[in-house]
């Protein structure tokens, strides 16, 4: 399972931590658009999903949005690797904490 101990916000939805640190192909049935949502002060959200859902050739998408403005994210990061996902989540979270 993926540890989210480093998250400082309020986790309101989490299926990301259910993933194993193994090959994407072995757990494609768990890869979907809504995997993690974390609330931060001042209307900020950190959101993680897999696009397109259930497709081993897809990618994780990490978005930081303010006031639910999904059309104009403050930050968007992508990766196909579970190994780099944690690093990108830390990067996104650090942008929120610095505000």
Averaged pLDDT in 10-residue chunks for the chain of 99 residues: 86 93 88 96 95 96 96 96 92 81
Domain-embedded: residue 90: yes
Structural domain total, the chain: 1
Domain-embedded: residue 5: no
- Containing domain of residue 90, as a range? 10-97
Domain-embedded: residue 68: yes
State residue 99's pLDDT score.
62
Question: Omega before 52 cis (within 30°)?
Answer: yes
Q: In what order do the strands lie in the sheet with 36-40?
A: 10-14, 36-40, 44-51, 59-66, 75-79
Provide CB contacts within 8 A for 98, sequence distance 6+.
Answer: none
Provide CB contacts within 8 A for 97, sequence distance 6+.
Answer: 8
Q: Tokens in use for 4?
A: 């989210």
Tell if the pTM clears 0.75, that is, is over it.
yes
Domain-embedded: residue 4: no
């Amino acid at each position: 399972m993926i540890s989210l101990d480093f998250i400082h916000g309020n986790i309101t939805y989490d299926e990301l931590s259910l993933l194993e640190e193994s090959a994407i192909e072995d757990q494609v049935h768990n890869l979907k658009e809504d995997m993690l949502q974390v609330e931060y002060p001042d209307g900020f959200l950190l959101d993680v999903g897999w696009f397109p859902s259930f497709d081993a050739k897809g990618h994780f998408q990490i978005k930081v949005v303010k006031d639910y403005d999904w059309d104009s994210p403050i930050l968007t990061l992508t990766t196909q690797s579970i190994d780099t996902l944690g690093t990108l989540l830390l990067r996104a979270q650090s942008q929120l904490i610095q505000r």
